[in-house]
Amino acid sequence: MPLPIEDLWAVSPEIWLAGLGLLLLVLDLFVPSGRKAIVGWAAAAGLTLGLVPILGLVGVTPRTVFFGTYVVDGFAIFFKIVAVASTVLVILSAMDVLRGQTQFEGEMYILLTFTALGLSLMAGSADLIMVVLSIEFVSLCSYVMAGYFKADRRGNEAGLKYFLFGAGASAVMIYGFSILYGLTGQTSLYAIASALSGAPRPAVVVALVMALAGIGFKVSMVPFHQWTPDVYEGAPTPVAAFLSVASKAAGFAVLLRLLAVAFASAPVDWITLIAGLSAVTMTVGNLLALPQRNIKRMLAYSSISHAGFLLMGVAAYAGEFAQGLLYYILAYAFTNLGAFFVAVTVGQRLGTDDIPAYAGLGERAPALAWLMALFMLSLTGIPPTAGFVGKFYIFGAAVQNGLIWLAAIGVVNSVIALYYYVGVIRAMFLMPPASAGPVGQPAALQLALGITGLGTLAAGLFPQPFVTLVSAASLLLRF
């Protein structure tokens, strides 16, 4: 069976990313140490250019390529944009951190580029084998990045912990997939969908729960969330930002495709299951975030609770508010990256990640502090920020799909969340500064912060262009 040439066109973004990664490997050989930022800028520029072939696919008729193993649809394109764009921002924020802290600076940019490729593959996978391969690809790169500062005790722990937990979760997931294969004799999600409707219910439930374990690990869903705070704390802060946004978004892409395609007509009520997991995840994440004093641990637990909100969007993925899930991901990407970038800046300049160290930031670095306040309010869901519109959409989807109880739990959780987000604002503006003197910010970080801040405000004040984007993206190639 010959491969149609259009199929190659359909994966042009992936080809570009793969080529870019290889090119950077070669480039890194010729760049003298001490000037490795060149590799970073090259990676950022190359990834930005990589958006061109992705955007070139916008509006394409949804279809499968490569013998039904890979999908090109608005949904996949959206997640590729999120993956690549957030990788660019993370690279910008990483340059200042990596310089001088590790002799493997160039390799980090290369790993990030390859991870972006893996995330793109996750977004488009429509076959169990592709799903496993792309998740493993991303995971292997992430393990290395999480433990990048291997001389640091916490960094070391982060890498090892992430690896052990991740390997276990993957194994369980693959076992679940093998049950799916055994039940249906198929690996394509579309073929599984039709074969699954007559399958015995207990086996389907076991397969679903096991698959959820693997993906739940990626998106930090309770009860597979325990690694999150330790890894975020030990990993370089830009990597934590990357894991919390890019990996999580791609995880949700896989989760939604798996549920909405393969389990569409399966004899299990996965909506109730996901709704329950959503309630538990956001509540546990929020309650554990309350006592945190370290900004990275706080953001880790907050990212768990946001996974809960996103699960609400997955459970309510029907009707015209379904795009709320995607809007939330977009808003969360801008906001959470921004919050982490502030943490990067503060961590670099003040040498600590403790929230009390943020005291007086409102006077020492007003612009930085107000940006952080904006991000915290957006994470809480206060207008006029992106986070509010995202939450509005998700609550809307829940109410529309008869999940008012879940929306009510979400409301209670938003109020709990306010307390710890405002804790950061309180430190920055209400506490006197420990020491005077301004806090400087490197240019690349300023750029990244500016983009995320602008995005957070723009998606809150003028949501329509973003709504147009996500409604095009909510076109999921269904069975």
Please say which residue, 18 or 457, places its beta carbon nearer to other proteins. 457
CB of 408 to other proteins, least distance (A): 7
CB of 210 to other proteins, least distance (A): 35
CB of 435 to other proteins, least distance (A): 18
* Cα–Cα distance measured from residue 93 to residue 102, given in angstroms and rounded to the nearest whole number: 15
CB of 407 to other proteins, least distance (A): 6
CB of 16 to other proteins, least distance (A): 32
Check the CA dihedral 349-352-353-357 and report its sign: negative
Please say which residue, 68 or 383, places its beta carbon nearer to other proteins. 383
Q: CB-based contacts of 81: which residues, under 8 Å, 6+ apart?
A: 51, 54, 55
* Cα–Cα distance measured from residue 360 to residue 344, given in angstroms and rounded to the nearest whole number: 17
* Cα–Cα distance measured from residue 457 to residue 452, given in angstroms and rounded to the nearest whole number: 9
Q: CB-based contacts of 435: which residues, under 8 Å, 6+ apart?
A: none
Q: 248-257 and 128-146 are packed helices; what angle lies between their axes, rounded to 10 degrees?
A: 170
125 φ, ψ (degrees, to nearest 5): -70, 135
Tell how many helices (H) and how many strands (E) occur in the chain.
21, 2
CB of 153 to other proteins, least distance (A): 35
Please say which residue, 211 or 361, places its beta carbon nearer to other proteins. 361
* Cα–Cα distance measured from residue 388 to residue 446, given in angstroms and rounded to the nearest whole number: 24
String of DSSP letters for 249-260? HHHHHHHHHIII
String of DSSP letters for 387-412? HHHHHHHHHHHHHHTT-HHHHHHHHH
CA-only gyration radius of the chain, Å: 21
Please say which residue, 57 or 467, places its beta carbon nearer to other proteins. 467
CB of 356 to other proteins, least distance (A): 13
Type of residue found at 337 = L
Please say which residue, 75 or 395, places its beta carbon nearer to other proteins. 395
* Cα–Cα distance measured from residue 259 to residue 356, given in angstroms and rounded to the nearest whole number: 42
Residue 69, CA atoms < 13 Å, CB-side half-sphere: 14
CB of 451 to other proteins, least distance (A): 21
CB of 419 to other proteins, least distance (A): 7
Type of residue found at 14 = E
Please say which residue, 79 or 420, places its beta carbon nearer to other proteins. 420
Please say which residue, 7 or 363, places its beta carbon nearer to other proteins. 363
* Cα–Cα distance measured from residue 104 to residue 28, given in angstroms and rounded to the nearest whole number: 10
Please say which residue, 194 or 471, places its beta carbon nearer to other proteins. 471
Q: Write the burial class of residue 138 (CB in 10 Å: 0-12 exposed, 13-18 middle, 19+ buried).
A: buried
Please say which residue, 67 or 419, places its beta carbon nearer to other proteins. 419
The contact set with other proteins (CB under 8 A) reads 320-321, 362-363, 377, 380, 382-384, 388, 392, 395-396, 399-400, 404, 407-408, 411, 414-415, 418-419, 422, 426, 429-430, 463-464, 467-468, 471
